[in-house]
């Protein structure tokens, strides 16, 4: 069994026959399978189970597979429970060049058209998992007795779980991503709170406050 055989794969497919066929064959090849028949369940499994790769049908009953792809790629990767770099392969009966290009433009790592050859799909899955090993890691971070698990959003100190708010976790995750770096206040505001700079933050506050308006001069 190879290293990629131990990976967990999420399969989001509403067609019963296709879902059963892929789940049975991928399981027989040594993968751990998570299955969903709609986008909402698929997204929930991504947030709770942290699969290594997702196979997503484009035509789902509650939303397009492209919508699920957009949700994954737009995750911030800091406070979110979703890894935005998770390998994701689209499966679709739409085989035109425009459909494939649209999938890649949205961030798909691969696009497989139905009907497909299972051995080819299996090879594409293995290739995506190998490439994922060279992407920036979203795995556990350690600094002495402190351990941060970004996908699970867990923090442990000396093995004991520490409860943090979302912003506190995001701040700790950022600081531990590069323990030797001294982050400026502006960098932390931009990364955690989304402000472009301290100046832009000040402008937002002033513009929203009625006290920022100047009084009319006596001459006016």
158: domain CATH number?
1.10.10.10
**DSSP class per residue in 9-64:** EEEE---HHHHHHHHHHHHHTT-EEEEESSHHHHHHHHHHH--SEEEEESB-SSSB
Q: Is the domain of 27 the same as that of 118?
A: yes
Domain count, the chain: 2
Does residue 80 belong to any structural domain of this protein? yes
The CA distance from 14 to 38, in Å, is 6
Counting as low any pLDDT under 70, the low residues of the chain are 1-5, 77-80, 133-140, 151, 194-220
Q: Is the domain of 105 the same as that of 165?
A: no
Q: Is the domain of 33 the same as that of 57?
A: yes
> What is the pLDDT at residue 146?
87
Residue after which a domain boundary falls, among 100, 132, 164: 132
Q: Is the domain of 126 the same as that of 177?
A: no
Q: Positive or negative, the Cα torsion across 186, 191, 193, 197?
A: positive
Whether the ω angle into residue 121 lies within 30 degrees of 0, i.e. cis, is no
| CA dihedral of residues 65, 71, 77, 83 (deg, nearest 10) | -20
> What is the pLDDT at residue 77?
63
pLDDT digits (tens, 9 = 90+) for 3-52: 444 789 999 999 999 999 999 999 999 999 999 999 999 999 998 888 89
Q: Is the domain of 111 the same as that of 31?
A: yes
Q: Identify the CATH number of the domain in which residue 35 sits.
A: 3.40.50.2300
Q: Is the domain of 84 the same as that of 156?
A: no
Q: Is the domain of 118 the same as that of 21?
A: yes
> What is the pLDDT at residue 40?
95
Q: Is the domain of 116 the same as that of 7?
A: yes
Q: Is the domain of 162 the same as that of 205?
A: yes
Q: Is the domain of 153 the same as that of 174?
A: yes
> What is the pLDDT at residue 133?
67
Instruction: Say how many CA atoms lie within 13 Å of 143 toward its Cβ.
Output: 11
Residue after which a domain boundary falls, among 81, 113, 132: 132
Q: Is the domain of 109 the same as that of 166?
A: no
The CA distance from 98 to 104, in Å, is 10
Does residue 122 belong to any structural domain of this protein? yes
Q: Is the domain of 107 the same as that of 198?
A: no
> What is the pLDDT at residue 138?
53
Q: Which two tokens stand for residue 70?
A: 């957009």
Q: Which two tokens stand for residue 5?
A: 């055989």
Specify the pairing of strand 160-162 against strand 154-157: antiparallel
Structural domain for 40, as ranges: 3-132
């Amino acid at each position: 069994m190879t290293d990629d055989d131990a990976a967990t794969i999420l399969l989001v497919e509403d067609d019963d026959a296709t879902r059963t066929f892929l789940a049975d064959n991928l399981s027989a090849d040594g993968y751990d399978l998570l299955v969903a028949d709609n986008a909402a369940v698929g997204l929930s499994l991504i947030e709770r189970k942290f699969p290594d790769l997702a196979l997503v049908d484009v035509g789902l009953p509650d939303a397009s597979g492209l919508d699920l792809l957009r949700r994954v790629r737009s995750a911030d990767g800091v406070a979110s429970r979703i890894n935005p770099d998770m390998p994701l392969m689209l499966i679709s009966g739409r085989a035109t060049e425009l459909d494939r290009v649209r999938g890649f433009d949205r961030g798909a790592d691969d696009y497989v058209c139905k009907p497909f050859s299972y051995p080819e799909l299996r090879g594409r899955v293995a290739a995506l998992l190998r490439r994922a090993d060279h992407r920036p890691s979203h795995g556990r971070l350690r600094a002495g007795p402190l351990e941060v698990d970004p996908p699970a959003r867990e923090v442990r100190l000396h093995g004991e779980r520490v409860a943090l708010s979302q912003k506190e976790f995001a701040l700790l995750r950022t600081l531990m991503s590069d323990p030797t770096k001294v982050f400026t206040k502006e960098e932390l505001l931009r990364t955690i709170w989304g402000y472009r700079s301290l100046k832009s933050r000040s402008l937002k506050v002033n513009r929203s406050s009625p006290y920022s308006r100047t009084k009319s001069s006596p001459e006016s």
